[in-house]
Amino acid sequence: MYASNFVVILFIISSVKTEEFFGNFTSRLYLNAFEALGETAFGAEEKIGRNIDLHELSFYVYTSENRGQETKLDPLNPVELTRGKGKIFFFLHGWIDAKKLNPWYNELTNKLLGMHKDARIVQIDWEAGSFQDYGLAAYSTESIGRHLATLINILVIDNHVPIEKFVLIGHSLGAQICGWTGKYFTKYTNQRLSRIIAFDPAGILFSERSDSRRLNRNDAKVVHVIHSDGGNLGFPEQCGTIDFFPNGGSKQPGCQHIDLKNPLKLFIELVWCDHFRSFDYFLEAVNDRKLLVAKQCPNEEALESRSCYGTEVSLGDLETTREGIYFLETNSKPPFSKSSGRD
């Protein structure tokens, strides 16, 4: 996939005046993404990069009282997270992404605060690490996970916040950061986090690593994984306690449309669309367990043949403790749930 699509996009984009078409900021993002994608497309390699310092990370807290106005958190003195009885959700974006660009942070924040009035949402910005070529960004995930584990450790040990309150949600490399957080938290406390929700965890480089160096089922009591671009940008195999494989886990319906008049849309459709579907599906189903219901598969062979008729669980179920491999089919555009009646 990578090389052929990249060459097509490169040919098209070479004829576009990117500064004029996208504006200064978007142009910088686009070209950085393109440079990084090129490195990935033609064979990413493990690299020794740099550890991200704590001061390079930003933590923004949202509550039902201040939805439109964030509070910046001091990770060494996280008093805002010691108040209240609700769950604490940490969000972690993926590669060549940032809080100000993120396509799912705000929508999921609003949905979760609508469901849990006493929850606190922490949107984490690790732009300093994500805007590197892929191999270097992958290296940086461990240090970010270590910082987050230290923050949670402060809350649990020093402030007696129950472990059950914490839910980590990450996309792509952000999902791998969640895995590192779980590993370091267990190392520090000999306990496991309650729940990780992984949107299409990054597969490039990580699929070749041992469990100890990537997201795995032991990183939390529940590791809830949604695979949407497996074998390409996403991790191709089961890696959680419960793994959802919508449409088989790759090549999502509706992601193959090409618009030659819009290079940015072309870039997203060919490269990112399948990878983004993981959080698109979750956003649709998170506040309605009757949507995007998956059926358990007895084994991987049944998943491949789409012969799955077991226990039913919604892909958006925030409370599930079910385990195993789950399959569902979706529509090609919103609403994605087949129960919506759209073909």
Does 301 have pLDDT greater than 70? yes
Does 1 have pLDDT greater than 80? no
Residue 167 dihedral angles phi and psi, to the nearest 5°: -130, 125
- State pLDDT tens for residues 62-87: 999 987 789 999 999 999 999 889 99
CATH superfamily for domain 2-340? Alpha/Beta hydrolase fold, catalytic domain (3.40.50.1820)
Q: What is the mean pLDDT of residues 278-285?
A: 98
Residues facing residue 73 across a β-bridge: none
Tell me what pLDDT residue 2 has: 42
Residues facing residue 222 across a β-bridge: 195
Does 341 have pLDDT greater than 80? no
How is residue 232 annotated by DSSP?
A: T
Can you tell me whether residue 51 is helix, strand or coil? coil
Residue 66 dihedral angles phi and psi, to the nearest 5°: -125, 35
CA–CA separation, 186 vs 165, rounded Å? 16
**Model confidence band, residue 277 (pLDDT cutoffs 50, 70, 90):** very high
CA–CA separation, 125 vs 56, rounded Å? 9
The larger pLDDT score, comparing residue 84 to residue 2, is at: 84
Does 15 have pLDDT greater than 50? no
Does 44 have pLDDT greater than 60? yes
Q: What is the dihedral of CA 108, 112, 113, 114, to 10 degrees?
A: 100
Q: What is the mean pLDDT of residues 21-41?
A: 49
Contact 184, 146 (CB under 8 A): yes
Q: What is the mean pLDDT of residues 94-100?
A: 95
Q: Using alpha carbons only, give the angle 254, 199, 165 rounded to the nearest 5 degrees.
A: 145
Tell me what pLDDT residue 41 has: 41
Query: Percent of the chain, pLDDT > 70?
Result: 82
Q: Is the peptide bond before 335 cis (omega within 30 degrees of 0)?
A: yes
CA–CA separation, 176 vs 92, rounded Å? 9
Contact 229, 94 (CB under 8 A): no
Tell me what pLDDT residue 69 has: 87
Can you tell me whether residue 116 is helix, strand or coil? coil
Q: What is the mean pLDDT of residues 309-325?
A: 98
Q: What is the mean pLDDT of residues 93-120?
A: 96
The larger pLDDT score, comparing residue 32 to residue 190, is at: 190
> pTM score, two decimals?
0.88
The larger pLDDT score, comparing residue 325 to residue 7, is at: 325
Burial class of 64 by CB neighbour count within 10 A (0 to 12, 13 to 18, 19+): middle
